[in-house]
Amino acid sequence: MRASVVVRSKDEADRLRLTFASLAAQTERPQVVVVDDGSVDHTQEVIAEAAAELELISVRNGSPAGRSAASNAGAARATGDIVIFLDGDTLAAPGMVAQHVTSHRAAPRLIVRGENWHLRCTRPFLDPEAGTPRPGEESRVARMSEAERSRSVITRDDIRHDFAGVERRAQPGVYPGFGPRLLQELELDALRADPENEILWAAASGSNQSVDRIAFLEVGGFDEKLTINEHRELALRLCKRGLRMAATSARAYHMIHRNGWRDPLEDTAWEQIFYDAHPIAEVALLRFFWASLSDGAASSRGRIGSLRELAAAADRCRDIRGLPAVREAHLMFA
């Protein structure tokens, strides 16, 4: 069985260089398909450099097409039995590819989700290896002592020869904070302990997740109208086709490089698109689940604390139709 890793990247050349180094250090070497989604930095130079170390296919979009379209373009060029999706600001632990392959060898028709951790130390850097600051972080980086700077940078030598040292600086969750960490814990616990749960598609991950390539292509890949929660919508379609969600301990490490992220509780354009495609209560209630886990969650009214509780809440609203109607009904029943 062979794996293709589809790496999506836009204007993060210096992080992408480190991502490539981590893929070159895999215990099981994959095919790598990199999609440059309209970058205007030196991404193409970094890709050209990586071709000497990797079995590399490069796809370049002249203008940004979006995360879902970039993923689809990469999968269309891949030839592996399975496709692993990874972001261009993410390090793959040395055994990540091998662990995904092992999971798929053990059972057919799986969607395999790994663990996502983050490296907070890289946040102020434009180039995490050289330690050059990103715009607005110049004074912060200038104030760093040599010891602090040494603890913060991530080099290709670190990745090749001391990945354990990189891991010691990481924390669980794709982003910093209580909410992302707790969400990952609940999702992975459900995948490992509750395999018959019918809404495990809600535990899908946007990065460090793999799927049978043919199954991915047969369902049409990611919905290109979605750039948030596209991975959960895809997992739902695949589960309807008989695939199952599963967990692996394979780890990926997100090199943080900005303050905040696209919060699906604030950037909500995805909701109506997702619900129109799948008009079920579970989709309508996703926001209650995530809001329940946020740092500022205070009210107990309408709180949903696990995927099992999400399924139970959806059952109570099963006959209600429409996004607002399902939410109102849930609050009435809570």
Q: What is the pLDDT of residues 179-227, one digit of tens each?
A: 899 999 999 999 999 998 999 999 999 999 999 999 999 999 999 999 8
Give me the pLDDT at residue 80, please: 98
Distance CA 165, CA 24 (A): 18
Give the residues across from 61 on adjacent strands. Answer: 37
* Composition of the chain by helix, strand, coil, percent to 5: 45, 20, 35
CA atoms within 13 A of residue 295's CA, in its CB half-sphere: 7
Distance CA 299, CA 74 (A): 43
Residue reference for tokens 């992408």: 16
**Is 203 in contact with 187 (CB distance < 8 Å)?**
yes
Rg, Å, the chain Cα set: 20
Question: CATH 3.90.550.10 spans which residues of the chain?
Answer: 3-120+171-255
Low-confidence ranges of the chain (pLDDT < 50): none
Query: Which of the following CATH numbers is that of domain 3-120+171-255: 3.40.1190.20, 3.90.870.10, 3.90.550.10, 3.90.230.10?
Result: 3.90.550.10
Distance CA 52, CA 17 (A): 12
Give me the pLDDT at residue 5, please: 98
Distance CA 63, CA 10 (A): 10
DSSP for 120-159? GGGTTEEETTTTEEPTT-HHHHHT--HHHHHHH---HHHH
Distance CA 246, CA 85 (A): 15
Tell me the C-alpha to C-alpha distance, in Å, between residue 118 and each of 5, 172, 202, 253, 309.
19, 6, 21, 5, 28
Q: How many residues does the chain have?
A: 334
Give me the pLDDT at residue 267, please: 78
Distance CA 9, CA 11 (A): 7
First-to-last C-alpha distance (Å) of the chain = 47
Give me the pLDDT at residue 293, please: 86
Distance CA 35, CA 177 (A): 29
* Cβ atoms < 10 Å from Cβ of 215: 19
pTM above 0.85, yes or no: yes
Handedness of CA 141, 19, 69, 275 (dihedral sign): negative
**Is 92 in contact with 20 (CB distance < 8 Å)?**
no
279 contact partners, CB below 8 Å, separation of at least 6: 321
Q: What is the pLDDT of residues 62-93, one digit of tens each?
A: 999 999 999 999 999 999 999 999 999 999 99
